[in-house]
A and B are shown apart, each in its own frame.
Chain A
Amino acid sequence: EPEVTQTPSHQVTQMGQEVILRCVPISNHLYFYWYRQILGQKVEFLVSFYNNEISEKSEIFDDQFSVERPDGSNFTLKIRSTKLEDSAMYFCASTKLDRDKPQPQHFGDGTRLSIL
């Protein structure tokens, strides 16, 4: 069964450094998302992306965050200058487009980001 893949599985970065998290969504999916889960808290929405632009973003997704689909298969999340509070599990998700019926989002296994 096709799945969303994320790399790396664990990223350790010094505070203030830039980090790029990578995702390969399911190949026939057209909507892409990033979520994060801080330890002990809920999974929370960061951003959605469709047709090469951001559809929606949460309050968390400030100017330090950006997303990109650099080619036909990858979807990346960049954090420009990491802070300690960015430490979390980051999940990528994707879904098919169906304007008549809602479709579930399918998640990758996540990247654990640790900021030192």
Chain B
Amino acid sequence: DQQVKQNSPSLSVQEGRISILNCDYTNSMFDYFLWYKKYPAEGPTFLISISSIKDKNEDGRFTVFLNKSAKHLSLHIVPSQPGDSAVYFCAATTWGWGDDKIIFGKGTRLHILP
């Protein structure tokens, strides 16, 4: 049951360039989307989120874009830095429907190359 899909298991990007991580979802009732970053031996760390009433949310180097008609979201990191090397999880909930459990994707491992 893959309601949240991250089809790229890994991604390598040169330091200073833009990293774009993609995510697709199947459940049209999802109305709140989150990106988490995870280092080895640590828990997921919240990065940025977006509500379904918006199509873009920006926080410093991180921007999340939401395309509801395509059921697609993406995380842009610019410029990419060495400390950005981690696993990134796309996640979604049906908050407005009274259900806030998070459904996670499998993650994309981002490698920032020097």
Contacts and interface: CB of A to CB of B under 8 A. Distances in A.
B70 interface: no
A108 B31 CA distance: 24
B83 to A, nearest CB: 17
A6 B43 CA distance: 10
A107 B93 contact: no
A75 interface: no
Interface residues of B, number: 25
B101 A43 contact: no
A82 interface: no
A102 B51 contact: yes
Given A102-B93, A102-B95, A95 B41 contact: no
A65 interface: no
Contact of B104 (A33, A43, A58, A106): A43
The 8 A-B pairs at the shortest CB distance, nearest first, are namely: A107-B43, A102-B95, A102-B32, A45-B101, A43-B104, A104-B46, A109-B43, A107-B44
10 contacts: A43-B44, A45-B103, A48-B100, A102-B31, A102-B32, A102-B95, A105-B100, A107-B36, A109-B42, A110-B42
Interface of B: 31-32, 34, 36, 41-46, 49, 51, 89, 93, 95-96, 99-107
